[in-house]
Structure 1
Amino acid sequence: MKNKWMQHLMKGALILSLSSLIAKILSAVYRVPFQNMVGNTGFYVYQQIYPIYGIGMTFALSGFPVFISKLIAEQDGMPAQREVTKRSFVLLAFFGVLIFGFLQIGAVPIAAMMSDVQLAPIIRSVSFMFLTMPFLATTRGYFQGTFNMVPTAVSQVTEQLIRVGVILVAAYLSIKVPWGVYKMGTWAMSGATFGAIGGTLVLARAFHKQFFYAPDSREVIHESWTRKFEVYGRLLKRFFIEGGSICLFASMIVLLQLVDSFTVKRGLVQSGVPENLAKGLKGIYDRGQPLVQLGLVISTAFSSALLPSLTHAYQQRRHYEFYRIAQEMVHTSSALSVAATSGLIALMPFINRLLFGDTSGNTALCMYMLSIILVALINSYNSVLQSQNEFRLTTVALFGGLLVKIIFNEWFVRHFGTTGSSFITALSLLAVFLIIYAKSSEPMKKALFEKGFIFKLLIICLIMSFVVGLTTSVFGFNPVTLGRLKAGVVTVFVAAIGAGTFIFLALRWHLFTIREWLSIPYGRRFLKWLSKRNQK
C-alpha cells in the first residue's frame, strides 16, 4: 500500500514537472519568432513590461501554489483543508485587487520611471491578470496539496498555449495592420490575461467537482469572529514570511530583469545614446533572456525532479542518502549548465545570426549566458535548503543580490553599455550563490570539489570550447556572411562536435559516477549502448 502511494506521488510529481518543462519551453521559444516579426524596438517594448507579468506568473504558478499546497497538506481532514483554501483565497484576492489597482493608477508614473511614458497602456493591460491570480494560485495549491497534479498541469500548459497564441497573433497583425509598436505591445501583453482566463476555466470545473461535491463537503467549521481574526492574522504572517520567500526566490531572474527595465534604457540615454537607438539596444540585450531560459530548462528540471527524494530522505533522517542525492543533483545540474553555457558562448555569433538575423550584441549576450551556471547552482543548493524547510537564508541571499543589481546597474550601463548590465546580472547572482554557499552544511560545501569535480568540469569545457572554435576556424565559417539557414546548419554541426567532445572527456576522466550518469536524461540508454560497444 505504501509503495503504491509513493508511486502515485512520484507519478504526480513527474506530470507536474513535465507540464512545467513544456510551459518553460513555450515561454522561451515564442520570443524568437516574435522578435523576428516586431524587430528590436518592438521586442524592447514587450520586454520592458514582461517582468511585471513574470512576477504575476510566479505568484499564480510556482510561488503561492507551492506554499498553499504545504498549508493544505498540514491540515487534518477535508473540512480543515477547505477552510484554509477559502482563507487563502480571501487573502490573495485582497492582494490581487491591490496590485491591480496599483498598476492601473500608477501606470504612468511607473512608465515614467522606465523613461518611456508610452509604456503606460501596456502596464494597464498586464494588470488584469492579477485579478485571476488568487483563483489560479489557490486552486493549484489545493490540487497539489491533495496530490492531484493533473488539473494544475493541464491548466499550466493551456495558459501558456493561449498566451503565446495571442502574442504571435498580435505580432502578425502589427505587420499587416499599421499598428505602432506600443499598440502591438498592449495587445501582446493582453495574452497574459487571456491565458490566465483559459487556465481558470480549466481549473474551475475540476475544482467545483472536487471542492463542492465531495462526500463531506457540507461539513462546516464554526468559529467566533475573534477566533477568525486570530487565524487570519497568523495565516497572513505565514503568507508574508514563508509564501513571500518562495515567491521571491522563484522570481529571482524576473526581479533582476525588472531592475533592467528601470535602468538599462535610461542609462544608455544618459551616456549619450539617442532615444530610438537606446530602445533598439535594449531589445538586442533582451535576446539573452530566452537563451538563458532554454539553457536552464534541463538543470531546473533536475532540481524539481530530485526535490521529493531529498525531502523524503531528510524526513526519514537518512542523512547519508540525503547528501548523496544532493551531491548527485549538484554535479549533474552544474555540469550540464556549464557545458550549455560554454557551448552558447562559443557559438553565440552563429546562434544570434540564426535566431535573430544578425550578430549584434554578442559580447553582452555572452556575458549574460553566465547566468545559466549561477542560477543552476543557486537552484541546486536552494533545493537542499527547501527540503530542510530553510527559507530565511535564501530570502536574505536574494535581497543581497538584488541590492547589488540596484546599486550598480545604471552606472555600469552608462560606462559599459548593455555589457555592463550583463556583468552586473552575473555579479548579483554570484552574490546570491556565495551567501547561500557560505551558510550551507560542510557536505554541501564539499560537493563541488569532491574528487576534483569542478576542476575536471572546467578543463573539459575549456577543451570543448577550444575544439568548437578550432572547428569554425578550420572550416572558415563566418557568421556575418552566412545566411540564417547556413548558420543553423553550422550551429547544429559544430554543437554536435562540442557535445561529442564533452561526453568523450567526461567518460575518459570519470567526471560522473555510474549513478550520476543514470540520473541524466537517456543516461541509462547511453551506458547500455556503451557497454555493448565495448563488448564487441
Structure 2
Amino acid sequence: MAKRVRNTQLNGQRRGLINGALLLSLSALIAKVLSAVYRIPLQNLVGNTGFYVYQQVYPLYGIAMTFALSGLPVFISKLIAEISDPVTQRAVAKRIFVILAGLSVVLFIGLFIGAKQIAIGMGDGDLASLIRVVAGMALFMPELAVGRGFAQGRFNMRPTAISQVLEQVIRVAVIIIVAVLAAQQQWSVYKMGAWAMSGAIFGAIAATATFIPFYQRLFQMPEHVSLSADYRWWTLARRLWQEGGTICLFAAVVLLLQLVDSFTVKKGLVDAGMTQAAAKSLKGVYDRAQPLIQLGLVVATSFSATLLPTLSEALNGKERRAYQTTLTTLIHMSFALSVGATAGLVILMPVINLVLFGSMSGSLALAIYCLSIIFASLISTYNSILQSMNQYRLSLVALVVGVVMKIATNHAAVLAWGINGASWATVLGLASMMIVLWWGSPDDMREALTHRRFVPRLAVATGAMVVVTGIVGNGLLLLLGDGRLTAIVIVTVGVISGLATFIVTALRVHLFTTREWLTLPGGRRLLKLIQRD
C-alpha cells in the first residue's frame, strides 16, 4: 500500500514537472514572438537610421535580460533543487541574492559611468544616453533571477511564466507608443531610442512586482541559519561564476555576436568610405535580420524544447533506450525544422523584406544571415543536452571559439563585402561553435546529427520545398507584377505551398520516425492521412 502511494506521488510530481515545463515553454514562446514581432512596426515607424540607433544598444539590454530571465534562473533552480530542506533553500537563495546584488551595482556603475566610452567604441558618441538607460536594467537582475530561479527550483513555473510574458507585453507596448510619438512629433532618433529603451525598465518593474510576496517571506526568515561547506559565500560565488556564467553566456550567444556587430559594422562601413549617415542607414538595413532570426529560431526550437524534460527524466532514471530515442528525436527535430525554416526564408527573402520593411534593400545580406538559424538552433539543442549531463567545459570552449572567430573576421569582412561580409562572419562564428560542440560531444550525439539516412532524406524534402516555393513565387510575380500587396500574396502562398511540399515529401521519404512525427502539432493526424493513402 505504501509503495502504491509513493508511486502515485512520484507520478504526480512527474506530471507536474512536465506540465510546468510546458507552461514555461509556452510563456517563452510568447515572449520570443513578441520580442521579434515588435521590431517590424518599430522599423517602419522610425526608419533605417532610427532602427540602427535602437539595435546598436539592444545587445547590451538583451544580454542583461538573458542573465536575469533565463540564464541565472536555470542555475539557481538547479541549486535550489539540490536542497530538500525549505529553510536551507531560502538561506541559500538569500546568499545568492546578496552576491548578485553586489554584482548588479558594479555593472550599473560601470555601464553608467562608462556609457560615453562604450558609445565612442561603437562609433557613435550620441548613443551614450541609451546606454545609461540600459544600465538601469542591471539593478533588476538579482530580484528577477532569484525569484524565478527559486520558484523553478521548487517546480513552480507559474511565477516565471507570468513575469516573462508581463515583462515583454509592457516593454513592447512602451516601445510602440514611443515610436508612434517619435514619428508624429519628429523626435531625434537618439531621443526616440532612449525612450524606447526605457520600456525595458517599465517591463522589469512589472515583472519584479510579481515576486514581492516571495521577497517578503525571504527577508523575514531568521538571520542565522547553519549551512554546510557546499553553500559558503565563496563556494556559491565560484559556482555562480563557473556554472551560472556558462549557462548565461550560451543563452546569449546570438546576442554576443550582435554586440560584436555593434562595435564593428558601422565603423567598418565608414572605414570602407561611406559617410556617417549612409553607414548608419545601412547598418539599420542589416539589423532587419534580427527579427527574422528570432522568428526562425522560435520555429526551430519551440517544439524540440518540450522534449528536454523527457530527456532529463530518462537520464536521471538511467533508462538508456528511452534516453537515446529522445536524444535522437530532439536533434532530428531541431535540425530539420531549422533547415526548413532557413530554406523558406532564403528563397522568399526579397519579398519578405519588402512585406515587412517596405524595400528589398540588403536582401542578400539578410538571406546569408538566416543561415545562422541552422547553427544557432543546433547549438542551443546540443548545449541543453550537455547541461542535462552537467557538462559545461565543452560549451564554454565552443562559445569562446565562435566569438573569437566573429571578432577576428568581422571588420575585414565588412571592409571587403559590406554587410554581406558581416553576415558571413556571423555564420562562420556559429559554424565554428557548432563544429567544436559536435566534435567534443559523446558518440550518440554525433551520430544523431550525421545519420546516413536522415541527412539525404532531409536534403530531398528541403530541395522539393525550395523548387516548389521558387516556382510559385516567380509565377505569381510574373502574373501579378511588383508591389507590396503582391509581395504579401507571394509570401502567403509561398509559405503555404512550401510547408505543404516539405511535409508531404518528408512523409513520403520517411524523414521522421513515428515517434518524431508525434512530437509535432498535428503529427498524429498527418500519420493517419498517409496510412489511409
TM-score by length of 1: 0.95
> Aligned pair in 2 of structure 1 residues 268, 141: CA closer, same or farther (>3 Å)?
same
Give the structure 2 partner of residue 236 of structure 1. 237
Instruction: Encode CA deviations 1:23-82: one digit per residue, 9 max, x unaligned.
Output: 000000000001000000000000000000001111111110000111111113011100
Within-5 A mapping of 1:228-377: 231-377=232-378
* Structure 1 residue 454 displacement after superposition: 1.0
Structure 2 residue 507 is matched with structure 1 residue 507: yes
Of 212, 221, 225 in structure 2, the residue corresponding to residue 221 of structure 1 is 225
Q: How high is the sequence identity, in percent, across the aligned residues?
A: 50
Give the structure 1 partner of residue 152 of structure 2. 144
Of 123, 129, 132 in structure 2, the residue corresponding to residue 124 of structure 1 is 132
Give the structure 1 partner of residue 3 of structure 2. none
Separation in structure 1 between the aligned mates of residue 401 and residue 36 of structure 2, nearest angstrom:
27
Separation in structure 2 between the aligned mates of residue 221 and residue 108 of structure 1, nearest angstrom:
44
> Aligned pair in 2 of structure 1 residues 228, 485: CA closer, same or farther (>3 Å)?
same
Separation in structure 2 between the aligned mates of residue 199 and residue 473 of structure 1, nearest angstrom:
47
| Letter aligned with residue 179 of structure 1 | W
* Structure 1 residue 300 displacement after superposition: 1.9
Give the structure 1 partner of residue 464 of structure 2. 463
The alignment of Structure 1 onto Structure 2 pairs a total of residues equal to 525
* Structure 1 residue 316 displacement after superposition: 1.6
Instruction: Encode CA deviations 1:235-254: one digit per residue, 9 max, x unaligned.
Output: 11001100000000000000
2:444 is paired with a residue whose SS is: helix
Contact 1:152 1:203 (C-alpha < 8 Å) held by counterparts: no
Instruction: Encode CA deviations 1:342-383: one digit per residue, 9 max, x unaligned.
Output: 000000011001000000001100000001101111122212
* Structure 1 residue 155 displacement after superposition: 0.6
Instruction: Encode CA deviations 1:116-168: one digit per residue, 9 max, x unaligned.
Output: 00000000011111111110101000100111110110011000011001111
* Structure 1 residue 451 displacement after superposition: 4.5
Structure 2 residue 54 is matched with structure 1 residue 46: yes
Structure 2 residue 454 is matched with structure 1 residue 450: no
1:450 is paired with a residue whose SS is: coil
**What stretches of structure 1 of length at least 5 have no aligned partner?**
none
**What stretches of structure 2 of length at least 5 have no aligned partner?**
1-8
Give the structure 1 partner of residue 474 of structure 2. 473
Separation in structure 2 between the aligned mates of residue 529 and residue 28 of structure 1, nearest angstrom:
34
TM-score by length of 2: 0.95
Q: What is the root-mean-square deviation in Å for CA atoms of aligned residues?
A: 1.8
Contact 1:45 1:119 (C-alpha < 8 Å) held by counterparts: yes
Give the structure 1 partner of residue 209 of structure 2. 201
Give the structure 2 partner of residue 79 of structure 1. 87
* Structure 1 residue 462 displacement after superposition: 2.0
| Letter aligned with residue 269 of structure 1 | V
Instruction: Encode CA deviations 1:157-193: one digit per residue, 9 max, x unaligned.
Output: 0000110011111101101223100000000001111
Separation in structure 2 between the aligned mates of residue 474 and residue 125 of structure 1, nearest angstrom:
49
Separation in structure 1 between the aligned mates of residue 405 and residue 451 of structure 2, nearest angstrom:
30
Separation in structure 2 between the aligned mates of residue 115 and residue 316 of structure 1, nearest angstrom:
53
Give the structure 1 partner of residue 101 of structure 2. 93
Instruction: Encode CA deviations 1:473-507: one digit per residue, 9 max, x unaligned.
Output: 3333499x633232112111111111111111111
* Structure 1 residue 442 displacement after superposition: 1.4
Contact 1:82 1:211 (C-alpha < 8 Å) held by counterparts: yes
Give the structure 1 partner of residue 4 of structure 2. none
Structure 1's consecutive aligned runs of 4 or more residues displaced over 6 angstroms after TM superposition are: 227-230
| Letter aligned with residue 302 of structure 1 | F
Contact 2:53 2:193 (C-alpha < 8 Å) held by counterparts: yes
* Structure 1 residue 212 displacement after superposition: 6.6
| Letter aligned with residue 128 of structure 1 | G
1:475 is paired with a residue whose SS is: helix
Separation in structure 2 between the aligned mates of residue 172 and residue 244 of structure 1, nearest angstrom:
38
